[in-house]
Each structure stands twice: as C-alpha cells, then as structure tokens.
Chain A
Amino acid sequence: MELLCCEVDAIRRALPDRNLLYDDRVLQNLLTIEERYLPPCSYFKCVQKDIQPFMRRMVATWMLEVCEEQKCEEEVFPLAMNYLDRFLSVVPTRKCHLQLLGAVCMFLASKLKETIPLTAEKLCIYTDNSIRAHELLDWELVVLGKLKWNLEAVTPHDFIEHILKKLPLPKDKVPLIRKHAQTFIALCATDFKFAMYPPSMIATRSVGAAICGLQLDIVDSSLSSDNLTDLLAKITHTDVDCLKACQEQIESVLVSNLRQVRHHQGQSDPSKTVDELDQASTPTDVRNVNL
C-alpha cells in the first residue's frame, strides 16, 4: 500500500490539455473571434477629454505592479487592460476616477482567471485607500454593463502555447521563451500603441522577440530571423511583409519600454521578469472548440 502525503499549495492548476493545444481548430477559432474584443476606436481622440495616453500608462504600470506583487496569473493583467480599454472607448472618464477603474478591471479579470481572486479590500489598499470597497463594487456593475458582460476576451496569452508548439524549439529553452514572451506581452499591454493590435499579432511578435533575444538562431539556423518570420506568419496567417514592417516598430517600443522598466526598477527588482516560472499552462479556452 502506498501512503501519500501531500501538502498542497493554495493554488491548483489544470495540466496542459492536449486536446485543446493539439487541435488546430482551437487556434483557428481564436483567430476568428479575437477582433471582437478589440477596443473599437482610438479613444484618446474621439471619446476622452480628461485623460491622456500618459495617464493610461501610469495606471497600467500600477496595475502591472499590483498583479506582480499579488502574484496574479499572467493573463490577469492583459485581460484587465482589455477591459479598461474597452470601457474607455465608450465612456468618457474623469482622470481622478481612472485608478478606480483600473482596480475594477483587475478585480474582474482576477475573478475570471484565478482560483483565489484579488479582494476588493486589497485593491483599495493598493490605491492607498483613495477609493472605498463599496465604490469598487458599484463600479464593477457599471463596467460589466458597458462590457456587455462579455469578459472572456481573447488575449495574447491564449496564443502562446499554440505558437510555441509549432516552432522547432529546443525543449529546454521553451519555459524561458514562454516566460520572456509573457513579459513582452505585459509590456505591450502597458503601451497604448498596441491596444488596437489583434492579440495574435502581439503574441506572435512577443514569441519572436523572445527567441531573437535568446539568440537561438546561432544554434539552429531554422530559427534565423527570416525563417522565423515566415514560420510565425504562417501560424497566425499574417502577411509576411506586414509582419516584418511592424516588427521594427514593435521591437523599438519593447526596447524603450524595457529601458524604462529597468530605470523604474533600478533600485528594486529587475529580476522579476525572468524568475517565477510558475504560471498556468492551459491558456486556451474550452469554449473555442466547435464540434
């Protein structure tokens, strides 16, 4: 007889589901529906009067820090930013309410994605108690209404596993590539430039940037820049030229973002992006399988 003693950690995660990750229909369906969840317009031009792009960046940076501090699942932050952008593209919002809105979006995204979600009280504390828990709960209702209760948005994370498994990558490097790609996705989410990009494009770029960053092409010529672009373009049905054209812009933003992050965190913890390999590994949505 075997005796098994488990001291289970608080978070339990499902194992990667091969039926989802190895079925191309999931990827195709994700590609079909992803555009539905993009904010419909560049809201700084046509909707918002009081808030400006740098304020979005401020609230995004704060949200990312809260998510990291609370060790949220990787999808929580980009999903919360998706809610924020979709809300801001329909509701003119005051500057002084923006942080509340950010907190509400994290609250919702966390509840959707996490086993043990962030609490309203905790989020209020992170705003330095400038908002109250009942306000958070009230606005949750308003935000839900404006999002039409449509919370299961497609995020770049949904594509990562699909892309990774289709590339000829050395097995031992995959966790690191995944981790870097997730970091790039988070950085993209803090920058409004990427808010209107389809998630699949962000995911493709992020994986591409992660592979380039690790200089895997030195070991394997099939991962050289051109080959990689071709491969990536095929996976997400993107035009190669379009992919290449955007690549430079995206990489430059990533570089400047990274520099900024390093600058910000110079005195804190620059290692957090690489550590913590403890993320969920079933990013796909069961509902995207059409039988």
Chain B
Amino acid sequence: MMGLESEEKVEIDPKVKADRVRRNLFGPVDHEQLQEDFQRLLWTSIEVARQKWNFDFIREIPSAGTLEWEELSCQDVPAFYRSCVIRGRKHLQGLQGATLQNSSCSQQPEVQAQERKTQGTPQPKKRRQTCMTDYYSAKRRCTSETDYSSKE
C-alpha cells in the first residue's frame, strides 16, 4: 500500500496556485441557454408542486384536488412562517414587482394543508423574502380575494 509520508514538501507561491485553480473548465457559458434551462426547470418544479398540493403558487389560489385549503391571516401563524426581511438581492428579468407585492407571506405550505395568506395586505414597507413568483410576470393578477374565499 501507499504511504503518504514520503512526500516531500515543495514551497510554491500561493498566488500562482490560486491562478491555476481559477479556471473555466468547459468553454464559454451560453447565458441565454442557461436562463432558458433555469426557467424551464423552475416552471416544472412549480407545476409539480401545484399538482402535489393542488395549489396554484403563482396566483396563490387553491386549485381543485384532494387537499382542502383554509385561509389564515398572518397573525395566526407562528412567527417562523411570516415574511422576514433579508438583504435585498437583484432578480433576473421577469420580476415586475407589480404582481408580487400583494402578498407578504408566500411560502410553501405545510403538510397540514393550511395556507396563510394576507387579506389585501398593503404594500410591504421593506423587501420581503424571495418567493416563486419573483421569477415570473404572472399571467393574471389575482384580482380579488373573493375568488377562493369559499373553499371547495
């Protein structure tokens, strides 16, 4: 078997070493393609989540399915689930602010099939936590709360 002890030490300029580590392995990255793939994968995962939870995470309304959704206000859930302020970060294209601002608690649901949602929350004062819809310009605005107030 091999013994590692026999290796002799060679001093080397750390900067030279750092430069060697810093490298592009597989040639130029196609950023548009990357963006496309990202959008596709994200859409797929949202679709999977929609089917699993029968909840439309983009419009933030329940869809038909086995789970029954109950609306809770932000105050009724543990603090852990409320939106928190994180240091702002730039989002990619598709973030059009407008459609996103009407919900301040938008996270994945818990298993108990309860969903908290704000009832017409005013514009949040600070930046809130990133949510799925940050990556889309949602097709339709969720115009009124009455759409889903009576649950199936």
> Which A residues lie at the B interface, using CB under 8 A?
55, 58-59, 62, 65-66, 69, 91, 94-100, 125-128, 130-132, 134-135, 137-139, 141-142, 145-146, 180, 183, 209, 212-215, 251, 254-255, 258, 262, 267-271, 273-274
Contacts and interface: CB of A to CB of B under 8 A. Distances in A.
A95 B26 CA distance: 7
B92 interface: yes
Contacts of B25: 58-59, 62, 98-99, 127
B10 A268 contact: yes
Given A98-B25, A142-B42, A269-B17, A135 B31 contact: yes
Contacts of A262: 7
Interface residues of B, number: 37
B2 A274 contact: no
Contact of A137 (B18, B35, B37, B89): B89
B22 A132 contact: no
A139 B42 CA distance: 9
Given A59-B25, A125-B22, A269-B12, A134 B38 contact: no
Contact of A141 (B20, B23, B42): B42
Nearest to A210: B4
A149 B137 CA distance: 25
B92 A96 contact: no
Given A94-B33, A213-B1, A55 B26 contact: yes
A69 B38 CA distance: 29
Interface of B: 1-5, 7-10, 12, 17-18, 20-31, 33-35, 37-38, 41-42, 45, 89-92, 135
B127 to A, nearest CB: 15
Contacts of B2: 213, 254-255, 258
Contacts of B35: 135
11 contacts: A55-B26, A96-B29, A126-B23, A135-B35, A139-B38, A209-B1, A214-B3, A214-B5, A251-B1, A268-B20, A270-B7
A177 B65 CA distance: 56
A232 to B, nearest CB: 15
Contacts of B12: 267-269
Contact of B4 (A58, A59, A130, A213): A213
Tell me what chain A mostly uses at the interface: helix, strand, loop, or mixed: helix
A249 B30 CA distance: 39
Contacts of A95: 26
A270 B37 contact: no
Contacts of B45: 142, 145-146
Given A127-B22, A127-B23, A271-B8, 13 more contacts: A59-B25, A62-B25, A96-B26, A96-B27, A128-B24, A134-B90, A134-B91, A138-B92, A142-B41, A209-B1, A213-B2, A255-B2, A267-B12
Contacts of B31: 132, 135
Would you list the 10 A-B pairs with minimal beta carbon distance, nearest first? A212-B1, A271-B9, A130-B24, A128-B24, A145-B45, A65-B21, A270-B7, A99-B25, A142-B41, A213-B1
Contacts of A100: 29, 34
Given A95-B26, A98-B25, A215 B3 contact: yes
B21 A62 contact: yes
A228 to B, nearest CB: 11
A131 B28 CA distance: 9
